[in-house]
Chain A
Amino acid sequence: MTETTASVTAARPPSDITKRSLPASLVVHALLIAASLLMLYPLLWMVSASVRPENEIFSSTSLIPSSIDLSSYVRGWTGLDVSFGRFFWNSLVISVLVVTGNVIACSLTAYAFARLRFAGRNFWFAIMLGTLMIPYHVTLIPQYVLFLDLGWVNTILPLVVPKFLASDAFFIFLMVQFFRGIPRELDEAAMMDGCSAWRIYWKIMLPLSLPVLATAAIFSFIWTWDDFFGPLIYLNDMNTYTIQLGLRTFVDSTSASDWGGLFAMSTLTLVPVFFFFLFFQRLLIEGIATTGMKR
């Protein structure tokens, strides 16, 4: 599964298209279009429900609202004691810090595994791959006790600091795969010229690895942005809530009858993810295809 990067986006030779009859192609297209609509329908319905007048939300299954009414957004934004602006800001801060931590710490680790020779390298590499398989529930409770003792509960530190210690083994693995594909002659030549390992990492490896760093950054951002479990455990003061927690509070609060506001805020939480998807889908899809990813 490692050599697929190049071919994922490459066009196939059209050897079999020429031989296929037109009707067969049309049938496949028709099926795929129907399937696409079915897949997107719930999402489109949610977006359209968020801009409808309140009385129209459940009375129609069509996607086209009779009139555009943005009052749901205004109501939803201030529907809780703390405004959604605050939740967005909190989510943004955590996500940006996690991205920074992952890119720095995982690239350092991956460089050591991919390029440096040291006693015990294969042993540690096997251990690192092993941590990919272990469900985090095993470390959850002692970690919680540890962060509680440190006085970190109800701050963003438990969600951010581990990332600076390369706790996301998945990204280490992704970067090792990429670093191994960079020609060894480059760092060997630099080594001959008396470059230190640090300089090679900084001046050669990182600049040549921008695609994989970007992929790791984008996935980090999206997963952190969507993360519910971590904030649920560590953040209990509404002022520190992320948007996921804010949205869940909105569902449970008395404003649960405010469906318009709920769909409006739900739509807003998906906007950043959708933006990344729109602009970087090739990177994301290649990232998945090369490593075989879970989500």
Chain B
Amino acid sequence: MSNAMRTPAGAISVERYQGAVAEGRLRRLWNANAPGYLFLLPWLVGFFGLTLGPALISLYLSFTDFDMLQSPRWVGMANYVRIATADPKFSAAMDVTLTYVVFSVPFKLTFALLVAMALNRGLRGLTVYRAIFYLPSLLGGSVAIAVLWRQLFASDGLVNAALSQFGIEGPSWISHPNYSIYTLVALSVWQFGSPMIIFLAGLRQIPQDMYEAASLDGASKFRQFYKITLPLLTPVIFFNAVVQTIEAFKAFTPAFIISGGTGGPINSTLFYTLYLYQEAFGNFRMGYASALAWILVVIIAIFTAFSFLTSRYWVHYDD
């Protein structure tokens, strides 16, 4: 046996050996993960640069005075304290927004469900009806519709013209602080098309033979609705309610157009987002507006968490 035969095969030092292993591991890590992260790259840049970064900065700004001209001045909790205790406009905006949510969401969902059930009877012309009811939802966000609404509810508008046919003299809806918010509620309810389509999709999931069995047992239509349709639809109702409520909290354009950007008369259409806009881009109180934005997030988060926590008592997910 020669000496060469007694040396370990491919004699390399321990360090080099470990280095090679590490390099191999790195290469494997790279090969396994690089494609995914490369595809994700635009989104990652956007997430850090346009979402996470700005969100953290606005959290910081909410504890400052910032008017875009001078650099932010730290004021601690002052913005939040003022919002909570000494800002009548905030209270007004909260009032208006909650009124809007409380009135528009239930009516919208009720209409959506009623129409979806009427359409779910295998009628002829279903697609035509469905399209007609959906159209307002599709057009709804635009300035044109808000302009139209402003005219409909004006003192000499279409609604009052229709009422006068019955000898009723209607008020000037949009310029009366007691009624103005309800014209916006009506606009929201008019756009019940999206939840209606989601309800229709949900209704189609309910097996027809359940109703047939209930019919044979002599259950009335109302009882069938109460005992079959409603429980089986609860996941869809829950989904629609959460989405529509969050959307209602964020409503902006119609109130802006109908009140000419003021939220008037007497703050009666001062949606929360409209107030935030006025503070940020009207008065350049960017720190204060950031605090308002974070309070909106907290309100939406609390509402969402509350919905999910209470959902286990009334939402039935069949597994």
Contacts and interface: CB of A to CB of B under 8 A. Distances in A.
7 shortest A-B CB distances, which residue pairs?
A165-B46, A118-B36, A142-B54, A266-B144, A112-B39, A139-B54, A289-B201
B236 A248 contact: no
Contacts of B54: 138-143, 146
Given A31-B118, A112-B36, A252-B260, A43 B139 contact: yes
A213 interface: no
Interface in A22-77: 25, 28-29, 31-32, 35-36, 39-40, 42-43, 45-46, 58, 61
A251 B257 CA distance: 9
B144 A117 contact: no
B161 A119 contact: no
Interface size class of A (residues with CB under 8 A): 35 or more
Contact of A141 (B33, B45, B142, B289): B289
B304 interface: yes
B97 interface: no
Interface in A270-294: 270, 273-274, 277, 281, 284-285, 288-290, 292-294
Interface stretch (B4-12, B18-26, B171-179, B203-211): B203-211
24 contacts: A1-B235, A8-B201, A32-B123, A39-B136, A112-B36, A117-B36, A134-B55, A134-B297, A137-B296, A138-B294, A138-B296, A140-B293, A141-B61, A141-B280, A141-B289, A166-B43, A223-B141, A228-B257, A233-B281, A266-B148, A277-B135, A285-B131, A294-B243, A295-B137
Contacts of A40: 132, 135
Contacts, number: 292
Interface in A208-246: 222-223, 225-229, 232-233, 244
A226 B131 CA distance: 19
A294 B218 CA distance: 38
B42 A109 contact: yes
Interface stretch (A78-86, A92-100, A123-131, A181-189): A123-131
A14 B293 contact: no
Contact of B236 (A1, A35, A105, A198): A1
Contacts of A39: 132-133, 135-136, 190
Interface centre among B149, B161, B249 (most CB of A within 10 A): B161
B240 interface: yes
Contact of B40 (A36, A124, A277): A124
Interface in B197-239: 197-198, 200-202, 204-205, 208, 211-212, 235-236, 239
B252 interface: yes
Contact of B256 (A4, A43, A228): A228
A247 interface: yes
Contact of A143 (B50, B158, B211, B260): B50
B171 to A, nearest CB: 17
B115 interface: yes
A16 B208 contact: yes
Contacts of B197: 285, 288-289
B142 A270 contact: yes
Interface in B133-168: 133-145, 147-152, 156, 158, 161-162, 165
B129 A32 contact: yes
- By secondary structure, the A interface counts as helix
B134 A281 contact: yes
A255 interface: no
A164 B42 CA distance: 7
Contacts of B280: 140-141, 144
Contacts of A177: none
B50 A4 contact: no
Contacts of A144: 280
A256 B143 CA distance: 15
A103 interface: no
Contact of A244 (B40, B127, B143, B273): B143
Contact of A162 (B37, B46, B281): B46
Contact of B39 (A36, A43, A111): A111
Interface in A160-187: 162, 164-167, 172
Nearest to A9: B127
B88 interface: no
Contacts of B120: 12
